[in-house]
A and B are shown apart, each in its own frame.
Chain A
Amino acid sequence: DAKTTQPNSMESNEEEPVHLPCNHSTISGTDYIHWYRQLPSQGPEYVIHGLTSNVNNRMASLAIAEDRKSSTLILHRATLRDAAVYYCILRDSAGANNLFFGTGTRLTVIP
């Protein structure tokens, strides 16, 4: 699986938007971009995924660069419950079905 690069940590004020970046310069044409987050003392949870087009769901939005070498997870209004480690993961549709995690970005939300 291609590698992703994320900042180790970020901070955001409560009720402000948060933009979490992810670089994946070696992404292949068949790689999907997935985001998961892990709240304290819990297992990871699926957030969103995309291939080429921007995606929106009830949790977040995913903005994918035109060249697909980077993407940004957008939380429109951060709440204290959004404090978590956010993982950006590439999954090759032509390869194994496994999910491999990196170190992610630890998001701190300041009240």
Chain B
Amino acid sequence: ETGVTQTPRHLVMGMTNKKSLKCEQHLGHNAMYWYKQSAKKPLELMFVYSLEERVENNSVPSRFSPECPNSSHLFLHLHTLQPEDSALYLCASSQWVSELGYGYTFGSGTRLTVV
């Protein structure tokens, strides 16, 4: 399988649940990202990992916890979420190089609904 794969595609969870989103890339990239896309809002960058090290955390609440065990896998662990956290969560990967001609490859996202 090629590209960036996200699972599950859809997730409904209660506010007291704990769940995890998974992202896997088969492109040989060394950087991975989590974005959040709420209805009628631009994509918001949440976390950035380069060479499995977290290099950026854009003021994301602690109820979102990322994990990058290796350069091919990225997880987003969720606990005690709020209804306003309902959104499309997108994973992306890229080569981490100074030449910014390399594009990002995105997955299709996980549509999360918090009830």
A residues adjacent to B (C-beta < 8 A): 32, 34, 36, 41-46, 49, 91-93, 96-104
A111-B32 Cα distance, complex, nearest whole Å:
38
A43, A96, A98, A103: which contacts B107 (Cβ < 8 A)? A43
A45-B104 Cα distance, complex, nearest whole Å:
8
A97-B98 Cα distance, complex, nearest whole Å:
7
Q: What chain B residues lie within 8 Å of A49 (beta carbons)?
A: 100-101, 103
Q: Which residue on chain A has the smallest CB distance to residue B43? A: A101
> Nearest-CB distance from A28 to chain B (Å)?
13
Is the beta-carbon distance between A97 and B42 smaller than 8 angstroms? no
Is the beta-carbon distance between A99 and B45 smaller than 8 angstroms? yes
Is the beta-carbon distance between A32 and B45 smaller than 8 angstroms? no
B31, B43, B101: which contacts A32 (Cβ < 8 A)? B101
Is the beta-carbon distance between B103 and A46 smaller than 8 angstroms? yes
A93-B101 Cα distance, complex, nearest whole Å:
9
Is the beta-carbon distance between A99 and B101 smaller than 8 angstroms? no
A44-B94 Cα distance, complex, nearest whole Å:
13
A43, A45, A92, A103: which contacts B42 (Cβ < 8 A)? A103
Is the beta-carbon distance between B100 and A43 smaller than 8 angstroms? no
